[in-house]
């Protein structure tokens, strides 16, 4: 059966990723006057993103160490950005003003890609639409998503596990010291266990059982010279034994080989 690594990030790692991306949002506000409403101060695991929000149009792909980031938005993002930049552009599109606004909106989003690359120290690998692998959306993939809103339009920054590790490397935890060897007899010497001794078995009809009376003798199937079997409650053999009498009590003398494991 194939084995798949299940990765989740601690809140400290989420905070580190969020703080590294924050300069990109700041650059967008400074250079373009565009403020995205970021859903959380920290990124979220992709499994927390509703399926309906995963259909972004991925516009750029960035490389960070051995990891990859994707930047994408839904179809209304260009219009939302251009509307913020030029509120009257869509009312005066016939005059060509709308065309200028659309171009400015596209340039603003391209500027976000550049700002994100600079904030993270990443390299823009592709400026054409790319699609993240479907495996990133599986629970435990280790991928994170940052969701930004501008009016009703959504923007997503998707990071795979290697990109997250490049931003928030895991602290190496020193291995635990190997415990000293302890003999099993010493460790369990004071533990208690119930032992059972099987004297034998006999099969009787129901009629014979109901007709039993004091003084009747029942012969078991165990020969007199055969040692009885001493077992644990689970039926594990311990050793052989012979039944004796000591005053008014039945006692057993251990005979044969003692079991090496119980």
Statement to judge: residues 23 and 148 lie in one domain: yes
Pick the range with the lowest mean pLDDT from 27-31, 72-76, 257-261.
Answer: 257-261
Shared domain check, 224 and 146 = no
Judge whether 223 lies within some domain: yes
18 & 140 share domain: yes
How far CA 64 is from CA of 5, 134, 164, 170, 183, in Å, comes to 21, 20, 9, 16, 51
Q: Measure the CA angle with vertex 132, ends 127 and 135; round to 5°.
A: 165
User: Higher model confidence: residue 26 or residue 180?
Assistant: 26
Mean pLDDT of 77-106: 69
What pLDDT is recorded for position 179?
Answer: 60
Round the average pLDDT of the chain to a whole number and report it: 78
Look up the CATH number of the domain holding residue 98: 3.40.1550
The number of folded domains in the chain is 2
Q: Find the domain containing 198 and state its range.
A: 192-206+218-262
| Beta bridge mates, 253 | 242
In a domain, 1, yes or no: no
Whole-structure pTM value: 0.59
Q: What pLDDT does residue 1 have?
A: 46
Give the residue with greater pLDDT, 187 vs 146: 146
pLDDT for 41 equals 47
Of residues 200 and 70, more confidence is placed in 70
| 153/10 Cα distance (integer angstroms) | 29
Percent of the chain with pLDDT over 70: 78
- pLDDT beyond 50 at 94: no
Same domain as 94, residue 34: yes
Position with higher pLDDT, 101 vs 43: 43
- Decide if 40 is inside a domain: yes
d(CA 62, CA 163): 10
Query: Going edge to edge, which strands form the sheet with 228-231?
Result: 196-198, 228-231, 237-246, 249-255
What's the whole-number mean pLDDT along residues 49-58? 73
83 lies in some domain: yes
Whether residue 151 is predicted with pLDDT greater than 50 in this model: the reply is yes
- CATH number of the domain within which 242 lies: 2.30.330.10
66 shares a domain with 28: yes
Tens digits of residue pLDDT in 161-208? 999 989 888 655 555 566 666 666 666 667 788 888 877 788 888 888
């Amino acid at each position: 059966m194939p084995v798949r690594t299940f990765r989740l990030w601690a809140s400290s790692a989420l905070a580190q990723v969020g703080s590294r991306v924050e300069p990109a949002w700041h650059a967008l506000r400074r250079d373009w006057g565009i403020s995205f409403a970021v859903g959380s101060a920290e990124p979220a695991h992709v499994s927390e993103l509703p399926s309906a929000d995963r259909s972004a149009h991925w516009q750029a792909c960035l490389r960070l160490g051995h990891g990859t980031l994707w930047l994408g938005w839904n179809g209304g993002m260009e219009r939302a950005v251009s509307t913020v930049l030029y509120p009257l552009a869509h009312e005066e599109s016939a005059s060509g003003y709308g065309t200028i606004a659309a171009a400015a909106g596209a340039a603003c989003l391209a500027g976000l890609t550049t700002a994100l690359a600079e904030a993270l120290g990443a390299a823009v690998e592709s400026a054409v639409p790319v699609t993240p692998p479907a495996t990133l959306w599986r629970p435990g993939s280790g991928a994170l998503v940052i969701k930004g809103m501008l009016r009703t339009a959504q923007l997503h920054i998707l990071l795979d596990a290697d990109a997250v590790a490049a931003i928030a490397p895991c602290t190496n935890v020193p291995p635990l010291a190997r415990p000293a060897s302890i003999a099993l007899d010493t460790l369990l010497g004071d533990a208690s266990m119930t032992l059972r001794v099987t004297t034998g078995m006999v099969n009787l009809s129901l009629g014979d059982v109901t007709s039993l009376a004091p003084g009747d003798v029942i012969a078991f199937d165990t020969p007199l010279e055969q040692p009885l079997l001493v077992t644990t409650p689970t039926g594990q053999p311990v050793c052989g034994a012979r039944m004796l009498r000591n005053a008014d009590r039945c006692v057993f003398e251990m005979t044969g080989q003692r079991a090496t494991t119980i």
